Chain A
Amino acid sequence: MSGPGRRVLIADDEPDVRYMLLLQLRRAGWDVTESADGDDAVGVLDAEGTGAFDALVLDLRMPGRSGAEVARTARSRGFAGPIVLFSGYLGLDAELDPEVADVTTLEKAKVGDLVGTLEELHQRRGGDRSHGE
């Protein structure tokens, strides 16, 4: 099920969490690019274009730009693929901007379910790489 060349960008300021996500996603056949925070993630999107990625996995709370801000930026640049936001805080849905409302959120403790969630969202969107405008 893991087609070649599926790229995901992950952003989390906790290196240990990032490494765990990296290993999990790699196991599931994703080509993983890491960013250490929200600003870094936007930098990667600037450099490679939103079309270079099939999915984004973002920590909601990071120094600098938050995950929600990165998601908004990506959407405004035409990114149409799945975005998974996760957070250690409960009730985080309330913080989400309606503009990025199609974003899926996870509690951090359930980040283990991340791969499954991402696969499901990816399938639902037809597995196509979404191209930026």
Chain B
Amino acid sequence: MEARSVVDDPADGHDGVAQALQHLTDVAVAITSAFSLDETLENVTRVAAELVGARLAATTLTLDEDWRHAVNVFHLSDEYASWRDYDAVPDGSGIYAEVVRTNRPIRLTQEELEADARWRGFGGEAERHPPLRGWLAVPLIGREGRNLGIVQVSDKVDGDFTPTDESLLVQVAALAAVAVEKARLRDELARQETARFREDLLSGISHDMQTPLATIVGLTDVLLSGVPDPEELTQTHEILNRQARSLRGLVQQFLDYSRLASDRELLLRPRPVDVVEVIERAVGMFRHQRDIVVGASLGLPPAEVDPDRFEQMLTNLIDNAMKYSDGPIRVVARHQGDRITVDVVDEGPGIDEQELETLFEKFHRGDDAEGTTGTGLGLYITRALVEAHGGELRTHSTPGVGSRFQIRLPAADGSRRP
């Protein structure tokens, strides 16, 4: 990069001013449109170099003059290519610290710099530091006059840094300070949001696990304190099995979530599976609580799915229907072309269009979820599971009538209807 100063001194007259304004607007856009703090700093540094036509530029962020944790971004022209790995952390003993401390710009020719009492060379980094040729540094000043860091340029392509360069760089620094504070705020908000999600998830996990754990511990206590009568024993065993399976399902759900959260694929072992058998298994987890009707078209072929994951999808959908409705639930399997469809239908209040859009987002919980429990992961994971099988999850809902969740999965090979 060999940039002349893009804004020359006022000799250029009106055109020069218009051009300068145009450039400042571009600068403002480049600096304020950056998405992250890193990108903001890179843009600020590049723009500072281009605007005053300097071969070297650096932006440093400090927090309350804490130099050990300073963030440095450098911009070096091709002449300085061999210094591109320069990464020394400033120790606060140089003249730059003066700019941070006083919150005032410093502009010096190389002779002035070397003659300045505050200039003490490059300290311990003298061997590695790129050489300077003239120096202009302006502070980054945040709200309430607090110093955020410094923007420095050196080695102007044409001559020495001018008062115009200085005032341009002050403008850049003003924009940069706003952008830095905005980016920091955004990062902080994102951090808080992640922390809140994690907290919600943990509280959801602990809640969902408490019911099966309490039931299992309570019932095993009963068994240990004496044998119940045969009828009680049968029911106790059934509940222990159901609650242990529910616990296993929760663990599976969190493993899936952690795979999805780290962009790894879900683990599936698909094979031809009897659809009604799996539906019955899933429904068996809820029959003690709700009337659930199972229907299937005659001669339904097997589906090409992982049976445990298929059961997990159905369990999630039925669990969802249980949470958001009081009436009967129907689970109906059909054969359509090369697909097997399974509908889970409830007679609940239905879902309005706006909510349908966010329904499958992780941690989503319905407005009517008061008094219900959960992590908000069920539908999110179900959709991921269905799609990992090459299938689709469709929803249809009529407010006041009920909702239908339809899983569409591949039928096993050779089961296409003639």
Q: Which residues of A contact B (CB under 8 A)?
A: 14-17, 19-21, 23-24, 27, 61-64, 66, 88-90, 107-112, 114
Contact = CB atoms under 8 A, between A and B. Distances in A.
A20 B214 contact: yes
A108 B211 contact: yes
B221 A89 contact: no
Given A16-B239, A62-B371, A63-B371, A21 B218 contact: yes
Contacts of A88: 206-208, 210-211, 214, 373
A23 B207 contact: no
A20 B213 contact: no
Chain B contact surface mostly: helix
B211 A27 contact: no
A36 to B, nearest CB: 9
Interface of B: 203, 206-208, 210-211, 213-215, 217-219, 221-222, 225-226, 228, 232, 235-236, 239, 242-243, 288-289, 326, 371-373
Contacts, number: 73
A32 to B, nearest CB: 13
B206 A20 contact: no
Contacts of A15: 288-289
Chain A contact surface mostly: helix
Contact of A112 (B221, B289, B326): B221
Nearest to A23: B222
A112 B218 contact: yes
A112 B225 CA distance: 13
B228 A17 contact: no
Contacts of B217: 109, 111-112
Contacts of B239: 16, 19-20
Contacts of B228: 23
Given A23-B222, A88-B214, 5 more contacts: A14-B211, A16-B288, A23-B232, A90-B206, A108-B211
